[in-house]
């Protein structure tokens, strides 16, 4: 795409001459004064603005101010026949990227334009990178508005600027790593590394090397020296997930590191010092493990300087609609499908479901819904039986005999309910399945209101 350039100069000969010189390589627009330039800047975007300093009415300094107040700021180059140090300094203070004196040398001008375009591109890339990092790691990435979640976020904001070691407790799938990332991103260490270690996934022999590194020949297969996670995270944060799974030997070394911020690589003798913040997480009761002798008490107290407990999803059911909408949008975009719309009846069941797998289970549910349904609406009749509080789906219209075979009423109610569910709430279709009239079905529903569902027919 050809870069766009706006030339602002009250001298007709100058602006048209510059336009003619640049138009082969750039999309050039001209303005005779500052007000005309303002209107053009409001109407379209320019990547570079070349403006005269002294013009009737508003000066070129006002053009700089206007340009740099735009959402997508162009690069501004100032030119004047009254070249002086003071003029140049003032233009640069206002935000101009460079300064030229008249008569303008075209070769020099093209060099400045190319330099300005490169600078602008770099600024955009850096901004986009920071936005991606922030989107991925900051507190804003934690979706929800429930009081329980608000307490966690407030605690994150309080502890993030400190150097304190933090212990995050909570069930599996409650977002402990996301909280750890938010703490790191909101801390002074945000531009350094965030290094996660999933302790349960590594045997003790490998975990020690992963954390502290090893020297060449330290053990069979150690063919070269390797830096550990603590070295790699120097200046940043190490996140130890499932810390309750680490063995006694690693507990001792971790305790020493927390006390001294120093360690030796496996097979090494040189003591290394690093500046690392430790955030640990567990789904186990470390206090109970201490009582049972499975976890060192002194290490527990070192880890538990600040404790954050992530609530289970069933404890923040009011967040389920917004979380589900968020995940559906993510997976719909990822797969280029239309988002699924979850109707009120279905959402009511989903909010009542206990979600033993927490947010991870909800995320999987959303992906499943997006991929299999590819848009449309999801009603309560589309949910699996477990989400409706049922043990298993009925295999057919033939119903197992209830515990009391003489309970005709119980059999009848069960058949009515199954027919309504199979007909997706359409009473006419349900009556046909049962071989009765719609009027009879209405009378039965009036008799047993608990069977009533929304009529979709």
325: part of which helix (H) or strand (E)?
A: helix 320-335
Cα(121)–Cα(119) distance, integer angstroms: 5
CA 64 to chain centre: 36
User: What residues are paired with 99 via a beta bridge?
Assistant: 78
pLDDT at position 287 is: 93
Per DSSP, the residues of 20-47 read: HHHTTTSEEEEESSHHHHHHHHHHS--S
Distance CA 413, CA 421 (A): 12
Helix axes 106-137, 176-185, angle to 10 degrees: 140
Residues 137 and 248: their CA atoms lie apart, in Å, by: 32
pLDDT tens, position by position, for the chain (457 residues)?
Answer: 788 999 999 999 999 999 999 998 999 999 999 999 999 999 999 999 999 988 888 988 999 999 988 888 899 998 877 656 677 778 888 888 888 888 888 998 999 999 888 877 766 655 554 454 444 444 445 788 888 998 998 899 899 999 999 999 999 999 999 999 999 988 999 889 999 999 988 887 789 999 999 998 888 888 888 899 999 999 999 999 999 999 999 999 999 999 999 999 999 889 999 999 999 999 999 999 999 999 999 999 999 999 999 999 999 999 999 999 999 999 999 999 999 999 998 999 999 999 999 999 999 999 999 988 888 889 888 888 888 876 554 444 444 444 444 456 777 777 787 777 777 777 888 888 777 887 777 777 777 766 665 544 4
Longest dimension (CA), the chain: 107
- pLDDT recorded at residue 121: 73
Query: What pLDDT is attached to residue 397?
Result: 44
- Collapsing DSSP to helix, strand or coil, 83 comes out as coil
- pLDDT score for 245: 93
- pLDDT number for residue 396: 45
Residue 325 has a pLDDT of 92
Beta strand 262-264 pairing with 271-273? antiparallel
Q: What are the φ/ψ torsions at residue 231 (nearest 5 degrees)?
A: -65, -45
Q: Cα(87)–Cα(333) distance, rounded to whole angstroms?
A: 51
Instruction: Using a cut of 0.75, tell me whether the model's pTM lies above it.
Output: no
């Amino acid at each position: 795409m050809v870069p766009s350039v706006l030339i602002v100069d009250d001298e007709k000969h100058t602006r048209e001459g510059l336009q003619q010189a640049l138009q082969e390589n750039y999309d050039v627009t001209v303005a005779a004064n500052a007000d005309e330039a303002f209107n053009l800047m409001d109407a379209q975007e320019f990547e570079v603005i070349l403006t005269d300093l002294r013009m009737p009415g508003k000066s070129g300094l006002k053009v700089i101010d206007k340009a740099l107040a735009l959402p997508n700021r162009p690069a501004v180059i100032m030119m004047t026949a009254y070249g002086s140090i003071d003029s140049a300094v003032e233009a640069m203070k206002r935000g101009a990227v460079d300064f030229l004196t008249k008569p303008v040398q075209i070769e020099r001008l093209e060099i400045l334009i190319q330099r300005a375009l490169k600078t602008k591109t770099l600024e955009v890339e850096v901004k986009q990178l920071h936005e991606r990092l922030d989107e991925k790691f900051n507190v804003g990435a934690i979706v929800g508005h429930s009081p329980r979640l608000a307490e966690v976020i407030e605690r994150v904001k309080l502890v993030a600027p400190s150097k304190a070691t933090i212990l995050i407790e909570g069930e599996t799938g409650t977002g402990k790593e996301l909280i750890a990332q938010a703490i790191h991103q909101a801390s002074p260490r945000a531009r350094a590394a965030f290094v996660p270690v999933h302790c349960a996934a590594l045997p003790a022999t490998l975990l020690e090397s992963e954390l502290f590194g090893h020297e060449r020949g330290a053990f069979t297969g150690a063919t070269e020296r390797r830096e550990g996670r603590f070295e790699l995270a120097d200046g940043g944060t190490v996140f130890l997930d499932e810390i309750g799974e680490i063995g006694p030997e690693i507990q001792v070394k971790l305790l020493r590191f927390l006390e001294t911020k120093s360690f030796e690589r496996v097979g090494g003798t040189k003591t290394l010092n690093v500046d690392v913040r430790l955030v640990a997480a567990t789904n186990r009761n470390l206090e109970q493990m201490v009582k049972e002798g499975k976890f060192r008490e002194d290490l527990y107290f070192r880890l538990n300087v600040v404790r954050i407990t992530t609530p289970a999803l069933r404890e923040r059911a009011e967040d389920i609609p917004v979380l589900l909408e968020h995940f559906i949008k993510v997976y719909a975009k990822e797969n280029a499908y239309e988002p699924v719309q979850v109707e009120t009846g279905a959402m009511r069941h989903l909010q009542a479901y206990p979600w033993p797998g927490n947010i991870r289970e909800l995320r999987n549910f959303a992906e499943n819904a997006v991929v299999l349904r590819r848009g449309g609406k999801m009603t309560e009749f589309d949910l699996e039986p477990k989400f409706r509080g049922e043990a298993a789906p009925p295999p057919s219209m033939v119903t197992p005999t209830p515990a009391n075979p003489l309970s005709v009423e119980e059999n009848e109610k069960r058949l009515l309910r199954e027919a309504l569910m199979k007909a997706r709430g359409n009473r006419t279709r349900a009556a046909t399945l049962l071989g009765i009239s719609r009027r009879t079905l209405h009378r039965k529903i009036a008799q047993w209101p608990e069977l009533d569902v929304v009529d979709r027919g």
